[in-house]
Amino acid sequence: MTANLRPTAVLCAALSLCAVLAVPGALPSLGGDARLTLAVFALATCAWIATPVDDTYIALGAGLALTVTGVISSDTLFGALGEPTVWLLICAFVLAAAVTRTGLAGRAAVFLVGGARSVRQLAHLVTAALVVTAFAVPATSGRAALALPVFLALAHALADRERLVVMLALLFPTVILLSAVATLIGAGAHLITVSVLWEATGDRIGFTEWLLPGLPLAVVSSHLAAEAVLLTSTRRADRKGPVRVTPKEIQRHADSPVTGPWTQGEKRCALLLATVVALWCGEPLHGVPPAVVALIGAVVAASPALGTVRLKDALRTVPWSLLLFMAATMAMGVALADSGAAAWLVSGLPPDLGPAVFLTVVVVVSTAAHLVLQSRSARSSVLVPLVIAAATGAGVNPVAAALASTAAAGFCHTLPASAKPVTLFAEVPGVPTYAPRDLLRLSAVLAPLTAALVLFFAAAVWPLLGVPLTR
């Protein structure tokens, strides 16, 4: 009964808001475009929360409604697909397909995990390896798919120690989600944040500008999360005894050799990937945009002479639905900012709200938002425009506020359906994995830890890296 009441209650709330917005005399400070934008946004958000309709379909419908009513132009809606960040993500998926085809992931697993001698060492080596994958594979779902064979190899190697298998099942999605903040291509939500920031404030964040504040937070939060997973899912007796994972056990779940001499394709792909990442990080020196670097890398990765994957095969791995969703929500963010709807929504905040209190509210709301909006990109499309609009009035740097909101929204571990990586590792046939109570136990520790860490970095670390808290 409760499950049936929730969609009805959410829909009633949305329709009530739309009815108020339709009354000409109500809310006199709100313009016509702002009223339409708020109505469309409310209906879209409620549909994301309470209906089984595909998120992309809802976003496209909302973008179309804003275009037809004249709130935004058709150029704004369709031009979002031509954004450099969208091209960056497309090319990054082509590069990831080339890496996957060569089998470099299996060799990396042997190199890192094969050196583990204790349970804690294994957990932190796995964590370090997963953080590195944020530079090679875009989006958390892609990294989860790449990491699944490695998890299966470890699970079969530790089949006689079930609690350790459950621990690893929790560790993989936890680190994948928290380490995504390391890079601009780590999640589609990052690209939405960058686009909204550019449209609203004129501040452009490139690969390097995201890397400097994001990577330290990703490393620290991931390794602290590894300790939280160990603490909540294993006992001291489980952590005793040596751990030994051999290359032979990893090879059973790999399609290509994980030991022995490297093939020419593997050498070329490793060199290409290293070059692309180096050029991304060196953008301030050479001035070539990250999207152009990614496009060059994708062309080389799919070339007949030097590549390791055919272009048409690589393009099949691109999540086109995600790209359409991003484009539509970017257009929705533009509508919120340009129509004045975002400014009106935050105008009721207390004028004396200090930076510390404002940032705390932003981080807490962003951390808890996954309980309402399961899509990470949808959370950013809803929260970031409001956070940016409110930041100036609170005396907070909009860039710092947007980054903090997006980083905090990376926590989505409470329920199996909260994120795709969590769902994937909760249902692995033939392998013991975690139950909902295991996630709740971990979330009770990890949620406040993640929120506190984001607040600490935003207030004390990011200003040293060129992202001040206030302006």
pLDDT, tens digit, 9 for 90 and up, residues 96-131 = 888 878 877 777 777 767 677 788 888 898 899 899
Most confident of 96-110, 163-177, 259-273, 360-374: 163-177
Q: Nearest CA to 366 among 345, 387, 396?
A: 387
What's the mean pLDDT in 415-425? 79
3-state secondary structure of 396: strand
- pLDDT bin (cut points 50, 70, 90) of residue 210 is very high
| Residue that wins the pLDDT comparison between 2 and 86 | 86
Q: Nearest CA to 171 among 135, 224, 207?
A: 224
Q: pLDDT at position 25, please?
A: 54
Reading the block at residue 195, the tokens are 């686009």
pLDDT at 3 over 50: no
Q: pLDDT at position 253, please?
A: 65
What's the mean pLDDT in 340-357? 77
Q: pLDDT at position 348, please?
A: 67
Q: Which residues are registered as beta bridge partners of 396?
A: 470
pLDDT at 420 over 60: yes
304 dihedral zone (left: phi>0; alpha: psi -120 to 50; beta) = alpha
Q: Which residues are registered as beta bridge partners of 470?
A: 396
What's the mean pLDDT in 282-304? 86
- pLDDT bin (cut points 50, 70, 90) of residue 6 is low
How far apart, in whole angstroms, are the C-alpha atoms of residue 247 and residue 464? 42
Q: pLDDT at position 398, please?
A: 92
- pLDDT bin (cut points 50, 70, 90) of residue 382 is confident
pLDDT at 439 over 80: yes
Reading the block at residue 154, the tokens are 């470890």
